[in-house]
Amino acid sequence: MSPAHTSLDDLLNPKSIAIVGASDDKTRIGGRPVSHMIEQKFDGPVYPINPKRDRVQGLPAYPSLADIPGEIDFALIAVPAPLVADQVRMAGEKGAKTAMVFSSGFGEIGDDGMRMQEDLKRAGQEAGVRIIGPNCLGLFNSETRFYPTFSSTIDRATPVPGGISIASQSGAYGSHIYMASHSRGLGIRYWITTGNEADVNVAEVIKLLAEREDVHTIMAYAESIKDGDMLVDALETARDNRTPVIFMKVGRSAVGAAAASSHTASMAGEDAVYDAILRQYGAWRVKSTEEMLDVAYACRPRIYPAGRKLGLVTISGGAGVLMADAAEDYGLDVSPMPQGAQAELKSILPFASPSNPVDVTAQFFNDLSLIPRFTRMMLDSGGYDGLIGFWTSVAGSPHLGQPLLDYLTETMADYQDRLFLSVMLGPDEMCRKYDDAGFPNFEDPTRSIVAMAALMYFGEAFGKSARAVPALPAPADLGDGPLSEKGAKSVLAAAGLPMVEDRLATTAAEAEAIAAEIGGPLALKIASPDILHKTEVGGVKLGVVGGEEAGAAFTEIVASARAAMPTARIEGVILSPMIEGGVECILGARIDPVFGPVVLFGLGGVFTEVMKDVVFRRAPFGVDDAREMIERLKGVSVLKGARGQLPVDLDALAGAISNLSLFAAANGDRLESVEMNPLRALAKGCVALDALIEKKQES
């Protein structure tokens, strides 16, 4: 099922194109791409296919693909759904490498349509033709003026080539993003919508874009991902090539997810997992189109700061406070200037606030040279990775805007790895001058902070070489049928997960003897492969002290479980020492329908259940990544000794998390989920008090 290799050249740089269902009417779906290609002067033959006409919009038309003289590279198909598969086959015979299908009436209308979509996919595979769509709005390559799309936005806004490219599942929303980019003056090189994704999906498109040197920044929009591995590959490629991927994954909310799945007829997967994957592989997830455009715009200088230390220089104390607030929201480090440097700033300008934000006050208007002096000191002594200057409307003042720009240009030439953003209001021409000089600028200070945060995030992601992942263990022996708690514990113990000592008693007398041997307060739990929820059947007793009590508890537990589930196979009762202290955690793995084995970790109880404070990471990964995962918990301070407790053994915890990730990756094909709840993190080590493995249903 692996698709034939496709290069972006096949998709976006065909030499010749046939349009099946071409219309003479420029406003119709089959007419618009013909019109776009003529008006934009696409440099290559365009063959309209229309059995009823000799000419279409002035071009010679052909009754069918077979009638075209010679070969074609690309077929655009806009005929009713039932006719599409045949056209794909014919396109293959004419040498086409790609067929793009505008036609709707496939997967999006239900089962019948889905069957037709499967037929279409097969036809493509058999004919050696990659398919984009069906039900897609098209694509464009603004460099070669190749416009196989029926979007009318092309008429209203002729694309300007640039380093940004767009990959979108949604045609209409993809157009919206394009239009918004255009009206912001952002040049778009490639624009590709994937529609129903019978074959080529948005992840593969991102991969193809990430491989291109002429693509500097990728904006992606998706409602669901069909191929998780492909997306990971795409994001890794982008990261290796230092190409920022700005990702809008919608369907975060309950209503949104329902709407997305009714819209695309595909399973959305869990949003928290998407979120973790995008973060894990260095894509910046946005919630709004505006943020997407802002970040893409700020990427233009292609400076991705090495750290997240932000310096703020301002001519308004208030703006400084506002920006410091926003920087904290985004986890940026607004450390103060060193004391010595502050004193030096004060000696230059006694009324300045020299800390950070650095406030040069209205004195700025009298002496612009304060800016380069202060800026150099912030970069040299403060060591900030990025700076934001708040200039408000001064750029609109002819005697300030240009000199300030000259100062900035001269200064920042000496600090080519530091990003400088401006906040200013002014005439478009002046703002564009700053932009062209490598100083992206924003009207709104908060938006400049968000853009800075994104670029610092990219800098961090690009600087990180992918960490070595320990070798996977051999597949575990999971036995036949369901695994009991004891079975799950021994499988996980073998995988390097620390398990509480437990002993199986098959009679009350055995329980008595074991209890006497272990000593101290004990936990007793029913042992049965058929009983997953032990508490609910009265199958658990905690804090049992002494042999006699243990014997009695055994009898009670077995009787209660038998009464509740008469057909369950009961192996006996497990006895374990009670482990007190430390912090209760949850550690688990699940097999995500999109991304395969993912590990989840969180603090127990209310943290997980009420506060939803759980972090995910795609398996497998090593201990360093596990440590980062722990640090992402909002409640991480609890593990580090908040509330007067001892800090727990984070190394042990990270080891356990990583080991579970290796186990999950090695056995993912046979698992549904693994859960250790609770896993108790202790001052030294950690230990799972319970374990549950759900195996995949045999199919």
Residue 632 touches its own copies, criterion: CB under 8 A: no
Query: Quick one: CA torsion of 456, 462, 463, 464, rounded to 10 degrees?
Result: 120
Examine residue 191 and tell whether it contacts its own copies (CB under 8 A): no
> Which of 345-356 are b and which e, b meaning 16 or more Cβ less than 10 Å from the residue's Cβ?
beeebeebbbbb
* Residue 329 binding its own copies, by CB under 8 A: yes
Shortest Å distance, C-beta 291 to its own copies:
8
Show Cβ contacts of residue 48 under 8 Å, excluding neighbours closer than 6 positions.
Answer: 18, 19, 22, 34, 56, 57, 59, 60, 61, 62
Spatial distance between the Cα atoms of 312 and 322, rounded to a whole number of angstroms: 11
Q: Say whether residue 35 binds its own copies (CB under 8 A).
A: no
Contact 165, 216 (CB under 8 A): no
Q: Which helix (H) or strand (E) element contains residue 511?
A: helix 508-518
Nearer to its own copies, 151 or 411 (CB): 151
534 lies in the site for its own copies, by CB under 8 A: no
CA distance 687 to 108: 49
Work out how close the CB of 471 gets to its own copies at its nearest, in angstroms, rounded to a whole number: 37
Identify which range of 323-331, 484-492, 560-568, 591-599 contacts its own copies by CB under 8 A: 323-331
- Three-state DSSP state, 388: strand
Is 192 among the residues that bind its own copies (CB under 8 A)?
no
Residue 147: C-alpha distances to residues 13, 79, 299 (Å): 11, 18, 26
What is the footprint of its own copies within residues 198-227 (CB under 8 A)? 221, 223
C-alpha 566/C-alpha 559 separation (Å) is 10
347 binds its own copies (CB under 8 A): no
- Scan residues 436-465 and list those touching its own copies (CB under 8 A): 443-447
Minimum gap (Å) between residue 107 Cβ and its own copies: 13
Nearer to its own copies, 153 or 280 (CB): 153
545 binds its own copies (CB under 8 A): no
Binding-site string for its own copies from residue 126 to residue 165, where x marks contact by CB under 8 A and - marks none: --------------------------xx--xx--------
Cis ω before 134 (30° cut-off from 0): yes
Which residues in the 585-614 window bind its own copies by CB under 8 A?
A: 603, 605-607, 609-611, 613
**328 lines the binding site for its own copies (CB under 8 A):** yes
Beta-carbon contacts of residue 158 (< 8 Å; ≥ 6 apart):
40
CB of 14 to its own copies, least distance (A): 26
Most distant CA atoms of the chain, gap in Å: 99
Dihedral sign of CA atoms 295, 297, 298, 301 in order? positive
Q: Restricting to residues 408-427, which ones interact with its own copies according to CB under 8 A?
A: 425
Least Å distance, CB 148 to its own copies, is: 17
Q: Which of the stretches 15-23, 321-329, 494-502, 682-690 binds its own copies when contact is defined by CB under 8 A?
A: 321-329
Q: Is 173 a binder of its own copies (CB under 8 A)?
A: yes
Any contact of residue 253 with its own copies (CB under 8 A)? yes
Q: Taking CB under 8 A as the rule, does residue 685 contact its own copies?
A: no
Residues 183, 339, 347, 369: which binds its own copies (CB under 8 A)?
Answer: 183
User: What token pair was written down for 526?
Assistant: 């029913």
DSSP 597: E
CA–chain centroid gap for 524, Å, is: 43
Place of tokens 């912001």: 184
Residue 382 DSSP label: I
186 Ramachandran zone, left/alpha/beta (phi>0; psi -120 to 50): beta
Q: Which helix (H) or strand (E) holds 625?
A: helix 623-631
Residue 310 near residue 384, CB atoms below 8 Å: yes
Site string for its own copies, 352-391 (x = CB under 8 A): -x-xxx-x--x-----------------------------
* Smallest separation (angstroms) from its own copies to the CB of 426: 9
Contact call for residue 7 and its own copies (CB under 8 A): no
Q: Does 635 bind its own copies (CB under 8 A)?
A: yes
Q: Does 637 bind its own copies (CB under 8 A)?
A: yes
Binding mask 265-294 toward its own copies (x if CB under 8 A, else -) reads ----------------------xxxx----
Which of residues 61 and 332 has its CB atom nearest to its own copies in the complex?
A: 332
One-letter amino acid identity for 76? L
Stretch binding its own copies (CB under 8 A), from 62-70, 124-132, 317-325, 522-530 = 317-325
Indicate the pairing of strand 671-681 with strand 692-695.
Answer: antiparallel
**549 lines the binding site for its own copies (CB under 8 A):** no
The distance of closest approach from Cβ of residue 151 to its own copies in the complex, given in angstroms and rounded to an integer, is: 9
Q: Which is nearer to its own copies, 187 or 496 (CB)?
A: 187
CB 348 within 8 A of CB 370: yes
* 8 A C-beta contact, residue 436 and residue 422: no
Name which position in 9, 83, 351, 432 contacts its own copies (CB under 8 A). 351
